[in-house]
Structure formats: C-alpha cells, structure tokens
Amino acid sequence: MKKICFFLVLIFLGFSCNRGQKNDSFTIRGQFQHAGNEKIVICEMDVREIIPVDSAVPDNEGNVSFSHPLDQPGFYLLIFPDGKRITLVMQAGEDLILKGDLRNPDGEFTLTGSVGSELLEGFFRATMKNKARIDSVKRVLLREEGTDEFLRSGLKADSLFFRINEDQKKLEKEFIDRNPESLASLIVLNYSFGPKPVLTMEDDLAWYQKLTGLYRIYPKNKHVLFHMKRMSLFMNNLKNTGN
C-alpha cells in the first residue's frame, strides 16, 4: 500500500511540474487575412525601451504563432509590416487568439484569451473615435487656411480640441476607476493623446495614487515598481516644496 501511495505522489508531482512549465509562458496565435509573407515582430515594452523578442512570417493561410517565457506579467507590442501596432498585456498561461484583416485601414482586430489585452483593445477603440474627431477638425482648418473664415474656425477649433481632450481624460479616468487592479490601467495612465499624456501627476494625482494598489498584487513587477518609484519621487518633491 505504501508503494502504491508513493507512486501516486510521484505521478502527482510530475503532473504539477509539467503544468507549471506550461504556464511559465504565453502564446499568441494570429489568424490574419492578406498577411503576405513579411515578418510580424513581437517586442517587449520595458520601462524605458522597446526590445524585440521574436518574429515570424505567417503561413499561406495567414496563420502565425508566438510563444514567449515570462515570470511576471508584461507589456508587449505586435508590430506588422505596414507599421500597425497592437499593445498587449500578457500573463503566464494566457493563450491569445488574434484575428484581423491586415488591409483594413482602420486596423481593427478581435482579441480573445487575454483579459488585459481585451481591456486595452476596448480602450483603444474608444480612443480612435476621439482621434477621428480631432482629424476631422484639422481637415476643416486645412481647408479654410488662407480664407477669411480661418480665424473664426481656428477659435472654434481650439474649443473643440479642448472638449475632445476632456472627453479623452474622462475616458481614461473611468477606465482606471473600473480596472484599478489591472496592469492595463498603467498603459492607460501613461497614454499620450498627442505630444504628452492626458493624465498628469500635477492635475490628476488621485488616479496615479489609485494604481499604487497594484503593488499589493504584483510586488515584483517592474512596471509596478517603476510606477511606485515615480510616485515616491513626486510625493517627496511635493513635501520638500511645501505643496
């Protein structure tokens, strides 16, 4: 009886180890129309740089796959030959299925199998609507440049740009409010809708502070640690200046 029990323990340990080895990486499986035969590159978004980690050429049916090891959840970019990019938040054990038409000018894709990546895709879809509004205003300004209406249109455009920026700020704050325990919120917090991030520590400190709670969930994650360091420096500067 003891020999049988010992044998069962070994089987259980072997199963646990194999399962652990399987879950120390993530997988991305792409199914793309009009993929061609050019490389798709996956890069890791480090705290200060973007690092290529793998590349692959889709097969004749447009299928491509990546598998990458990681010990902490991370941020990744999938970069297509025409420059399109998809931002992903990947965790160990996730199997992301990504579908889309690479000739689609809107660059829309469907995502399943990665919770953080799905959240980000929803955010970027809403952001694209605000970008389309800005592009529309810019086209009007270009059309009226040099005319008598340009000054009036310029004043109206400034008001519209401000309103769109406020809508984007509201979108980002609501995303963080709904997802304070998701690493995707760090991407949203630092998202640049133009030359600089929409949310700033000076004006929107509460949302920066809200994401310090990620440290309890991901105490070893480099993106969380970088956020905590930034927050610490900012708060110390506030204290030293007496604000």
**Res 242: pLDDT:** 66
Which part of the chain has CATH 2.60.40.1120? 26-113
How does pLDDT run across 146-159, given as a tens digit for each residue? 777 776 777 788 88
- Which of residues 150 and 241 earns the better pLDDT score? 241
Give the residue-averaged pLDDT of 87-116: 90
Given this model, what pLDDT does residue 3 score?
43
Whole-number Å distance between alpha carbons of 144 and 132: 19
β-bridge mates for residue 69, sequence order:
25
| 41-63: average pLDDT | 94
Q: Is the pLDDT of residue 6 over 70?
A: no
H-only helix segments in the chain: 2-22, 115-144, 150-178, 184-189, 205-210, 214-217, 222-241
Cβ pair 29, 97 in contact under 8 A: yes
- For the stretch 160-198, pLDDT in tens is 888 999 999 999 999 999 999 999 999 999 998 877 889
221: helix, coil or strand? coil
What mean pLDDT comes out for the span 23-51? Answer: 92
Q: Output the CATH code of domain 26-113.
A: 2.60.40.1120
pLDDT tens digits for 112-164? 999 999 999 999 999 999 999 988 888 877 877 777 777 677 778 888 888 99
Biggest CA-to-CA distance, the chain: 97
Q: How far apart, in whole angstroms, are the C-alpha atoms of residue 26 and residue 67?
A: 6
Q: Considering the entire predicted model, what is its pTM?
A: 0.83
